């Protein structure tokens, strides 16, 4: 049993749209800069990032199996629970979609994100929104958040609240620059999807951090 790991990691499409929105929140442009897709699985986001960044690196547990990537994307194999084989202060914008909930130690994860990013660079992560109405109901009834129930184990192992993400980011030396919310979950046992215009109906939370100069 691989705790927290997936053979093929694929994040929902709305998380990629959130990542593109995070780029638009940043005042700088990124020609000839390096982006990193941390835990990017099959590399869908990495491919999208080549439209904005000159160089993109995919860092993933199964990166050695990715032989179908464009030449502008390099792939590095890494167990994200350990120290990453990336030099300090080398990445301009690090992205990680739906990964931190798979990690044994989220504080180590964000410390590594902060370590590899250049001063003035950015970090964007997403994770299931445990403040979601359906998640709150599931926790009240079963003591398990919606995407951290038995059906999601052992892949999803670390639920994190918004305040957790703020605190852990600050501990890692990062500054929160924005929050993004996305995705609409169907109500339990139905196909009804309520509008996600309030955070409590969004399936995903995204946090944009900056590493101070």
The per-residue pLDDT for range 56-66, each reduced to its tens digit, is: 999 999 887 77
3-class DSSP assignment, residue 100: helix
**What are the domain boundaries of the chain?**
13-210
Q: What's CA 21's distance to the chain center, in Å?
A: 14
The per-residue pLDDT for range 149-200, each reduced to its tens digit, is: 888 888 999 999 999 999 999 999 999 999 999 887 776 666 666 665 567 8
Task: Report the range out of 23-37, 68-82, 116-130 with the highest average pLDDT.
Answer: 116-130
CA angle 55, 57, 63 (to 5 degrees): 150
Q: What is the pTM of this model?
A: 0.92
Q: Are 155 and 128 in contact (CB under 8 A)?
A: no
CATH superfamily of domain region 13-210: Vaccinia Virus protein VP39 (3.40.50.150)
């Amino acid at each position: 049993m691989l705790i927290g790991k997936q053979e093929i990691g694929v994040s929902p499409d709305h998380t990629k749209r959130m990542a593109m929105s995070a780029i638009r929140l940043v005042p700088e442009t990124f020609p000839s800069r390096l982006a990193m897709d941390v835990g990017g699985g099959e590399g869908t986001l990495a491919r999208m990032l080549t439209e904005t960044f000159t160089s993109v690196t995919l860092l993933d547990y199964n990166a050695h199996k990715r032989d179908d990537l464009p030449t502008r994307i390099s792939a590095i194999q890494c167990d994200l629970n350990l120290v990453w084989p990336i030099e300090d202060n080398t990445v301009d914008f690090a992205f990680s979609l739906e990964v931190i909930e798979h990690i044994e130690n989220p504080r180590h994860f964000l410390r590594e994100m902060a370590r590899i990013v250049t001063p003035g660079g950015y970090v964007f992560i997403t994770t299931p929104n445990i403040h979601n109405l359906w998640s709150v109901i599931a926790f009240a009834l079963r003591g398990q958040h919606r995407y951290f129930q038995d059906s999601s184990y052992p892949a999803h192992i670390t639920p994190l609240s918004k305040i957790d993400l703020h605190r852990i980011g600050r501990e890692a030396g990062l500054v929160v620059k924005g929050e993004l919310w996305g995705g609409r979950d169907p109500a339990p046992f139905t196909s009804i999807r309520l509008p996600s215009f309030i955070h409590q109906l969004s399936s995903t939370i995204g946090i944009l951090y900056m590493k101070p100069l």
